[in-house]
Structure 1
Amino acid sequence: MSRKLRVAIIGGGQVAETVHASYYLTRSELELVAVVDSNIERAQSLANRLGIAHAFADADEMYRQCQPDIISVCTPNRFHHQHVMQALENGCHVMCEKPPAMTPEEAAEMRDAARKAGKVLAYDFHHRFASDTQFLREQVVAGTLGEIYVTTAKALRRCGVPGWGVFTNKELQGGGPLIDIGIHMLDAAMYVLGFPAVKRVYAHSFQKLGTLKHSGQFGEWDPKTYTVEDALFATVEFRNGGILRLETSFALNIEPVSVMNVEFCGVNAGATLFPAHIYQDEAGKLVTLSQRESADTERHFKSMRAFVDHVLGAPVSIADAEQGYLIQQLVAAIYRAAESGESIEL
């Protein structure tokens, strides 16, 4: 490579600093040249802390001055489509935070634009990059579990409404726990299963606690402006006859503080994702076939590494634009089912 690839980050919040910028700074092949945020003070503060040369409030000006090769999009969900499309139009590869967009139509347009531009578009569905997830995917392909007919994905918090950002604003986020944390376990489950074709979905959502409480595990929020669901439960039917049950919440009266895991029930064996554990029953006793001692916690950086390596030409798997579209389509169908009270065919 004759020169370093120039990287800019759009959105100067927590994930931009702790994940995207922090990883880019570890790569000698990259040069982190700019931060863009509508709040110029926040952009400048992040640039100063990390020694980044430029800070901008306007993305157009950043593209004119810095001519980046790679863009990370770390803005609220509502702006993902706009910023990804702009980056692709400027000839950049893009790593975008999840979810891809607000609607499947936007995600499809982003996918098509990336194909037309011949650029990499990846999404930070980082749980699929855990060693646990990769191991279980290999075991599913090898047939260790046999036919998997029931999968249960849980992304639950007892009282974990984010007290920062715009997570309680439906207009800017598109939803609550489903589109924020539930989407992560949904993606991990679909990845392990090999993205089976979906037949229909059923769902129920609730807004019971977020408008009553005002503080919890992740700080305080204003119940008067809380416009997202605080719990959602869905069943996804696959065309192969299997089902996936999804449970997700920001606030729900459960015993554990949080649950982020997926369970797979197959004809030959069952499995739990974090940490990866494959087991079966023999005469009423649980027999472990294989087990990791602890769950992989380096998922974020592994996701970023896969994206950068892919941009540099390595034959590594990423959470690509097509899979991002499929997940966005499924999330939208779940929300429609919950709102209508009817099943949604896909």
Structure 2
Amino acid sequence: MVTKLRVGIIGAGGIATDAHIPNYLKCGEKVELIAICDVVKEKADKAALEFNIPHVFSSYEEMFQKIQIDAVSICTPNKFHYPATIAALQAGCHVLCEKPPAMTVKEAEQMAIAAEKAGKILTYGFHFRHAPQVEVLKRFIDGGELGDIYAARVTAMRRRGIPGWGVFTNKELQGGGPLIDIGVHMLDAALYLMGYPEPDTVFGVTYQKLGNKQGVGLMGAWDWENFSIEDMARGMITFKNGASILLETAFAANVEKHDEMNVSLMGDKGGADVFPLKIYQEKHDTLIDITPSHLPKKGWHVLELERFVDSCLEGTIPLSTSKQGVYLQKIINGLYESAEKGEAIKLSENVPV
């Protein structure tokens, strides 16, 4: 039985150096951070020097050939999630892949199949699931406090928050814009709290109104002349149990708040907003609001990495499963397809979760 996880990092960008690597190091004796690779080797060299990582490579193929690794974090642009995950699983590694799972439903399905065939963990970087607000509300939901959750609203809106770095505005490398980048976080949180009901139909619309123009950037200047993604997406998802979700997400929109990430749930016994957490109920002929007086302050990325490591060492099921990744990919790609065709899309194929 492995008592210390030998971990490799694929991709040396900001999510690796700001979130994954520092939080692996906080796992202490459970983890040995052994290698890092990036196609831009200078970036990998810099991260290796900063975090004292002994082995550096320019490709994951070389990394898997030359050293023994138990688990990897995949921190590449979305386009490369699929090939890197397949290679890692075939090399006998557990995988924590950043969100979204992939670019297409077929890729996400093949990733899940490869994980099952290899007998390895494949989980995704939906760190909002590890937020204390989500964890507390999940306990209330599991205790029946909200009853039958039949409606939800998902919001991931920025006023002028187009990332001015990386490849976030490149559709070929990312697959899309705010829907697949920040909207997917809140959508996953909502689905998780709702118990991941089986989707039935999606209807989506996308807009490119502000990102393809020069303007104020609260997250740095972006390449507006080569802006190939949507700057806003809206949609509705219906489920076979009768529930529905309304979704709104944007990198740039003429709204009041600079940044809003939230999930609102409505059940027949209560409702809730998640960020900040507030629960709405009717009890003893009185309408009441419930707010926690204290929430744990441990970082969400800290918990995400700790739990991934523990799942790998102990053989337990991770909080986010590969089959749920397929499920979510179906919804995201269905919304994009609906927006392109201008019609609702039926998601007829079942995905067990």
Q: Give the TM-score of the pair, scaled to structure 2.
A: 0.94
- State the match for 2:32 in structure 1: 31
Q: How does 1:1-346 map to 2 (within 5 A)?
A: 4-27=4-27, 28-280=29-281, 286-293=287-294, 298-313=299-314, 315=316, 317-346=318-347
Question: How far apart are the structure 2 equivalents of 1:258 and 1:341?
Answer: 28
Q: Distance in 2 between matches of 1:203 and 1:328?
A: 14
Alpha-carbon shift at residue 213 of structure 1 (Å):
2.6
Unaligned 5+ segments in structure 1 are none
**Would the aligned equivalents of 2:123 and 2:318 in 1 still touch at CA under 8 Å?**
no
Q: The residue matched to 1:16 in structure 2 has which SS?
A: helix
Which deviates the most, 283-292 or 116-125?
Answer: 283-292
More divergent stretch after superposition (245-254 vs 49-58): 49-58
Q: CA deviation at 1:83?
A: 0.3
Contact 1:146 1:268 in 2 (8 A): yes
Contact 2:30 2:309 in 1 (8 A): no
Note the C-alpha offset of 1:280. 2.5
Of residues 27-36 and 153-162 in structure 1, the stretch that sits farther from structure 2 once superposed is 27-36
Structure 2: which 5+ residue stretches go unaligned?
348-353
> What is the CA-CA distance between 1:89 and the residue it aligns to?
0.8
Are 2:269 and 2:282, in contact at CA under 8 Å, matched by a contact in 1? no
CA distance, structure 1, for counterparts of residue 156 and residue 95 of structure 2: 27
Deviation by residue 1:95-149 (Cα, 9 ceiling, x = unmatched): 1000111001000000000000000111011101112112222222222112222
Give the conservation status (yes or no) of the 8 Å contact 1:12–1:37.
yes
Distance 2:90 2:207 in 1: 40
Distance of 1:250 and 1:149 partners within structure 2: 28
TM-score normalized by the length of structure 1: 0.95
Amino acid at match of 2:341: S
- Matched letter for residue 19 of structure 1: A
Alignment partners' CA distance in 2, 1:137 and 1:17? 30
Q: Which amino acid aligns with 1:147?
A: D
| 8 Å Cα contact 2:233/2:248 also seen in 1 | yes
SS at match of 1:155: strand
Q: 1:95/1:339 Cα in 2 relative to 1: closer, same or farther (>3 Å)?
A: same
260-269 or 210-219, which deviates more? 210-219
Task: Tell me if structure 2 keeps the 8 A contact 1:214–1:222.
Answer: no
**What secondary structure does 1:309 align onto?**
helix
Cα offset, 1:172, TM superposition: 0.3
Instruction: Give the Cα–Cα distance (whole angstroms) in 2 for the partners of residues 301 and 26 of structure 1.
Output: 8
Deviates more, 1:215-224 or 1:151-160: 215-224
